[in-house]
Amino acid sequence: MSALYDTLEGRSPAEREAALFGALVQQIAHAQRHAPAFAEVLQGVDASAVTSREALARLPVTRKSELLARQQAQRAEGAGGAKDPFGGFSAIHYGARMPRIFASPGTIYEPEGTARDYWRLARALYAAGFRPGELIHNCFSYHFVPAGSIMETGAHALGCTVFAGGTGQTEQQVQAMAELRPAGYIGTPSFLRIILDKAGEMQVPLPTVTKALVSGEACPPSLRDWFAARGVTAYQCYASADLGLIAYETSAREGLVLDEGVIVEIVRPGTGDPVPDGEVGELVVTTLNPDYPLIRFGTGDLSAIMPGQCPTGRTNTRIRGWLGRADQTTKVRGMFVHPGQIAEVLRRFPQAARARLVVSGEMANDQMQLHVEVDEASEGLAERIGDAVRELTKLRGEIVLVPRGSLPNDGRVIEDARSYK
């Protein structure tokens, strides 16, 4: 079979650029007509004139925080059902064209349309070595967040069968893998490590699990080598609930190749100004998905353009992968944690003054501590705060109560102290 998923991956850069910007003209006009938020954001923009990266760079960047704010405002105004819970960003509405809705922490609601491989993950699965007719063990969450569906729809488009493993229940995951004999795993790298450790502890061999597509958190070379030593070749992809697939790793192991359905820019953090190739900046992505037409969407993630093309024959631009966050929002065990969630925790406890979330440990072994200033630690306060953190972030964390005034007065709410080596 071909080393490439389709002919799009082998196009000349000039051919690809012409196709992308030809589609972009139509996408902007479509967003202006059918997505009220972009009718406002792009008011006065002549869609037919946005035919180059220079023209695209003159459009405003819409960041996740703005998407969230618009959704929240619309929900508040639309208690009677008159307003749009998607904040005007979706071009489709409840009914046959929107079979599912998902929620990301924040809370941001994302629509799923009916297009085959709606999130465009089949390309990344193919690059990771998966082929039609195989069984894939999917350990991304099917609850609230779209991660499980993102991977499942891609696997179905590729012609694979999926076991909906979801998260947790490690012994049952091992048993299912041993009995169903899947060709590989998709999920976070940290959970794959837990499963393989548990299989070793149970003395249950998993000989068929030889490949993996991992995402949701970093997979450093040390962890990739750990998997390889156990017979699993793991590849990474970079995707989001808003945009679907953005970039994916190939057998060359040289950065991540951009997906064929997005236009990616690297801009100076806090601005919309593109930086020179090679310079680290924020990833700004424009998707060509007509159902959820995000134009210049600021991901908050840092990366950089790599020179040259992938040795596998894929001619699209490559990025260095995830290099951190352009803002304080961070990802813990595959879930985004926002400063606004920490603020909501504090609002529930009047006796708490300030808080600082510290994420530490090595990747695939995240530890989360919330340091909270209080005048007096009443009985059970830490446990109640911990319950609120779990409710709002869907993550467990240790609560450390500290005296008022002891946290640094630097405005930082989330500190990422993990090692990325």
363 lies in some domain = yes
> What span, in angstroms and rounded, lies between the C-alpha atoms of 173 and 66?
39
Specify the higher pLDDT residue, 168 or 28. Answer: 28
> Average model confidence (pLDDT) for the chain?
92
pLDDT band at 206 (very low <50, low <70, confident <90, very high): very high
HSE (side-chain half, CA atoms, 13 Å) at 196:
24
Residue type, 264: V
| Inside any domain, residue 57 | no
Structural domain count of the chain: 1
From first CA to last CA, the distance across the chain in angstroms is 36
pLDDT recorded at residue 171: 97
In this structure, is residue 384 part of a structural domain?
A: yes
Residue 32: both structure tokens together? 């202006």
Span 168-189, average pLDDT: 97
Q: Helix, strand, or coil here: 202?
A: helix
Question: Would you place residue 84 in the very low, low, confident or very high pLDDT band (cuts 50, 70, 90)?
Answer: confident
9-23, 219-233, 262-276: which range is least confident on average?
262-276
List, edge to edge, every strand of the sheet that includes 62-63: 62-63, 297-303, 281-287, 262-267
Task: Report the pLDDT averaged over residues 72-95.
Answer: 82
pLDDT of residue 421: 55
Q: CA nearest 355: which of 363, 345, 365? A: 345
Cβ atoms of residues 163 and 208 within 8 Å: no
Rounded alpha-carbon distances, angstroms, from residue 18 to 15, 56, 282, 290 = 5, 14, 24, 19
Q: What is the pLDDT of residue 62?
A: 95
Distances (CA, A) of 208 to 1, 200, 335: 21, 15, 29
Q: Taking 90 as the threshold, does the pLDDT of residue 113 lie above it?
A: yes
Is residue 316 within 8 Å of 16, Cβ to Cβ?
Answer: yes
DSSP 12-76: -HHHHHHHHHHHHHHHHHHHHHH-HHHHHHTTT--GGG--SHHHHTTSPPEEHHHHHHHHHHHHH
> Which residue type is seen at 46?
D
- Residue 271: band (very low, low, confident or very high) from pLDDT cuts 50, 70, 90: confident
54 is a domain residue: no
- Give domain status of residue 376, yes or no: yes
CA-CA distance, 354 to 330, in Å (whole number)? 19
pLDDT exceeds cutoff 70 at 417: yes
Does 209 fall in a domain? no
299 in Cβ contact with 272 (< 8 Å): no
pLDDT beyond 80 at 126: yes
Residue 336, in any domain of the structure: yes
Lowest-pLDDT choice from 21-25, 323-327, 383-387: 323-327
Residue 362 belongs to a domain = yes
| CATH number for 412 | 3.30.300.30
Give the dihedral of Cα atoms 165, 243, 310, 26; nearest 10 deg: 140
The range of the structural domain enclosing residue 393 comes to 330-416
- Split at pLDDT 50, 70, 90, the class of 304 is very high
E-only strand ranges, 83-187: 100-104, 108-112, 135-138, 161-164, 184-187
pLDDT the model gives residue 329 = 78
For the stretch 355-379, pLDDT in tens is 889 999 875 678 999 999 998 888 8
pLDDT band at 410, cuts 50/70/90? low
d(CA 350, CA 159): 54
Mean pLDDT score, 138-157? 96
